[in-house]
Chains A and B, each alone.
Chain A
Amino acid sequence: MDRGDSRTRFANVVMPHLDDAYSLARWVTGNRADAEDVVQEACLRAFRGIGGFSGGNGRAWVLTIVRNAAYDWLRKNRSPAVIQVHDLEAVERVQVPDDATSAGNNPEAALIARADEAKLEAAIASLPAMFRDTLVLRDVQGLDYREIAAITCVPIGTVMSRLARARGRVIVMLGADT
């Protein structure tokens, strides 16, 4: 592919998803300046690799590259503990009380619904990285399970498991009356 073609494809495939790219990078890195570096690096990779984009879902393709660049950045700039792949079984099981007496009058749900932006951000930010990006891809960026599985390179069952655990943890954090 000549460079003119690459430029047109880049403009068509990558540029429309820049906000999504930035949003994902910010959730993974935790701050704006680092997110911008990650997006620039990811876009450079995308531009070099645009010839390999076979069509299909441009957004998922871009987000896959952004996520890889963000994890490379984490590996370089954060302690390994932050990014270690958590053994799902080793992570403490989230216990949401199965209290049938609260049916119809769900005080936790009311607390969750009242959570403000800062509390919500803090709860999401405290999740292990793999849970956090699954939750963000689903509930912030609105991707479906199949797309998330492709972006995070895991089977759909793992996406389901991570998502259920991520939501369970955030629910416990927001539902605790503090």
Chain B
Amino acid sequence: MTMTENDRLLLNAYIDGELDPAHALEFERRLADNPAFADERTRIEALRGVMRERLPRETASPALRRRVAALARPQPFATTWRAGWASMAAMAASVAIAFAAGSIATLVAIGPGSREPLPEVLVASHVRALMASQTVDVASSDRHTVKPWFNGKLPQSPRVVDLTAQGFPLVGGRIDVIGLTPVPTLVYRARQHVISLTALPASRRGETTLPPIDGYNIVEWTDGQLTYWAVSDLVASELENFARAFRAGEAEP
């Protein structure tokens, strides 16, 4: 059977996981009946695979990054930003969050006794991690590696749950500094989105979805001695799914 134009659209959408369950089921039946569909599927999947593997990850050059960051410097430089090649020090001062490289710098940026609300601080930590070349200090999808790494550094280590099957593979962990306290942050992925999950000493009960800050959603819940804060640009409902999966997940024995 020859594929129609519409079949091709459906096949592509099926492979991309964009069909709703009912249509996906129906399409799977047709896929099983038509060798031509299966062949085309193999070709499309081969293309997707090769694009993912062979095309280099493009990154903005440090020079471009500096020029763009200079846009956010205090006046009067903003009008002459094209020529504005400020020193790293000047920029670090103006965009401290963006350029704080490492825990010590974050500590300075936030400062002891800072009155900045916790959700803003957590979003800032998340953004800083996104902008670093690595979002984690320890990169591992194996919770048996990540948990001991925290054990060696912090008095209290978080639960580390394997959520690969639920679509949230573990990327690793890092240490964020909130006020003067180093705290553990787990990093998970949901498709292309990064989720930072920070554990703090328990504050209050119940799961809360906070108002988003600059497009980042925040879900917070308490489990035993720890309050967990999940921050991501994932849509709120999916971040809540992540929170539920994490709470239901089996912790490291």
Contact = CB atoms under 8 A, between A and B. Distances in A.
Given A16-B127, A98-B2, A9 B60 contact: no
Interface residues of A, number: 68
Nearest to B10: A160
B37 to A, nearest CB: 9
Interface stretch (B150-158, B169-177, B210-218, B222-230): B210-218
A57 B47 contact: no
Interface in B64-123: 64-65, 67-69, 71-75, 78, 81-82, 94-95, 97-98, 123
A177 interface: no
**Secondary structure call for the A interface:** helix
B64 A145 contact: no
Contact of A15 (B1, B68, B73): B68
B134 interface: no
Minimum-distance CB pairs A-B, first 7: A23-B58, A58-B215, A142-B192, A12-B214, A22-B60, A16-B130, A98-B36
Interface of B: 1-3, 5, 8-9, 11-13, 16, 18, 35-36, 38-40, 42-52, 54-61, 64-65, 67-69, 71-75, 78, 81-82, 94-95, 97-98, 123-124, 127, 130-131, 191-192, 212-216, 233, 235
Interface of A: 3, 6-16, 18-19, 21-23, 26, 36, 39-40, 43-44, 47, 53, 55-59, 61, 93, 96, 98-100, 102-103, 106, 108-110, 112-113, 115-117, 120-121, 138-145, 157, 160-161, 163-164, 167-168, 170-171, 174-175
